[in-house]
Amino acid sequence: MAVATRPLSDQLDLWSRRFKLSLLTLALLAFTAIIIIPFVWMVLMSVRTTGEILNNPYGLPAQVRWQNYLRLLFDPGIQFYRYFINSVFVTGCAILITALLSTLAGYGFGRTRYDFKFRGWLFALLLFALVLPPQVMYIPQFTMMATYGLINTPFALILIYGALGLPVSTYLMATYFSQLPSEMEDAARIDGASDFRMFWQVMLPLARPALATVILVNALTYWNELLLSITMVTRPDFRTLPAAMMFFVGESASDYAMAATSLVTATIPILILYLLLSDKFIEGMTAGALKG
């Protein structure tokens, strides 16, 4: 109706805008294809046989072979389950350390009640580690672990990972805690609650979104970490997934189907965690990062 009464020039304008918009959409879809195709290709490869892949790397599976995944997970020759368990154990314990230390420190750094003369200094010192390349510290970390006989145990990785995510996590927690209103804290104090009970029963439950962000950010880092993993652990039994995959793909270079299956499987836990925590993750990440 409105269109019918429009003058011709407006009509042309409308069409040219539509044309531009579809060009833009086309370009964006092409760009998105570049992002997505590697994933799709990986998943397709993971349900084919290596023979099929060698014949035609880009064909569709003749028959979807989910048994690849069963073989990967349960074949004692591959021992994927062992690396998987190692990774879960290391990541889980390290997150526990980081989350515990950073929530406590975030509370101490974030609330005005605990301010003292050099607190800002100490906080800046802690944040300085964000600039440090991990490579600058990992050689003494290695000798330290060697001195205490922790090389080739998961504990070397757990202890060092725990420190790896500490600065970012403390920063995120401190930012969040500092934005919480103090009325509830005051009320709890009047009721005679101790500092620690106030933290544990009143403030920490309020900071759950920040805690979710801390868990996800660190899970992402620890689960995917390679440098320390190949340095601290050389015994195959204790390898984590990224290290194991480097060797797995290197050793069985021709078994593309199994390699693709392992790559997909190694990504799934993080995907699940991301889907569970995603709203809070992006929100918390950006809230923290934009402050700096």
Partner 1 sequence: MATAEQTVSLPQTNALTKRASDRSSHSRSPATTRRRPWLAIALFIGPALIYYTVFVVYPLFATVYYSFHTIAPGGGQVTTTFVGLKNYQELFRDSTFFLAVRNTLLWGFVGPILEMCLATVLAFVVYYRVPFWRFYRVAWFTPILVSGVIIGIVFRWIFNVDWGLVNVALRAVGLNALAVNWLGRLDTPIWVVIFVHLWATFGFSFVLLLAGLSAIPPELVEAAYIDGASRLQAIWRVMLPLLRPTFITVLILSFLGKMHAFNVVWALTNGGPLHYSETVATYMQKRAFSYNSLDLGYPSAMGVVWFGVTVIGVGLISRWLRSRSNDLN
Minimum Å distance from CB 221 to partner 1? Answer: 10
By CB under 8 A, the residues from 189 to 228 that bind partner 1 are 195-196, 199, 220, 223-227
- Name the residue nearer to partner 1 (CB basis): 7 or 38: 38
Shortest distance (Å) from residue 78 CB to partner 1: 16
Instruction: Compute the least distance from the CB of residue 179 to partner 1, in Å.
Output: 5
Which of 131, 205, 235, 251 lies at the binding interface for partner 1 (CB under 8 A)? 131
Stretch that binds partner 1, among 60-68, 77-85, 93-101, 204-212 (CB under 8 A): 93-101
Residue 9 contacts partner 1 per CB under 8 A: no
Segment contacting partner 1 by CB under 8 A, of 9-17, 60-68, 137-145, 204-212: 137-145
Q: State the nearest-atom distance from the C-beta of 152 to partner 1, in Å.
A: 13
Q: Does 155 bind partner 1 (CB under 8 A)?
A: no
Residue type, 278: S
Per residue, the 3-state secondary structure of the chain, as one string, reads CHHHHCCHHHHHHHHHHHHHHHHHHHHHHHHHHHHHHHHHHHHHHHCCCHHHHHHCCCCCCCCCCCHHHHHHHHCCCCCHHHHHHHHHHHHHHHHHHHHHHHHHHHHHHHCHHHCCCCHHHHHHHHHHCCCCCHHHCHHHHHHHHHHCCCCCCHHHHHHHHHHHCHHHHHHHHHHHHHHCCCHHHHHHHHCCCCHHHHHHHHHHHHCHHHHHHHHHHHHHHHHHCCHHHHHHCCCHHHCCHHHHHHHHHHHCCCCHHHHHHHHHHHHHHHHHHHHHHHHHHHHHHHHHHHHC
For helices 166-179 and 119-128, what crossing angle results, to 10°?
140
Nearer of residues 5 and 130 to partner 1, judged by Cβ: 130
The footprint of partner 1 on this chain (CB under 8 A) covers a number of residues equal to 104
Nearer to partner 1, 212 or 259 (CB): 259
- Nearer CB in complex with partner 1: 76/140: 140
Residues between 48 and 67 with contacts to partner 1, criterion CB under 8 A:
57-58
In the range 11-50, which residues lie near partner 1 by CB under 8 A? 21, 24-25, 28-29, 32, 34-39, 41-42
CA distance 216 to 95: 9
Q: What would the x/- binding string for partner 1 be over residues 62 to 91, using CB under 8 A?
A: ------------------------------
Taking CB under 8 A as the binding criterion, the range among 1-9, 11-19, 77-85, 100-108 that sits at the site for partner 1 is: 100-108
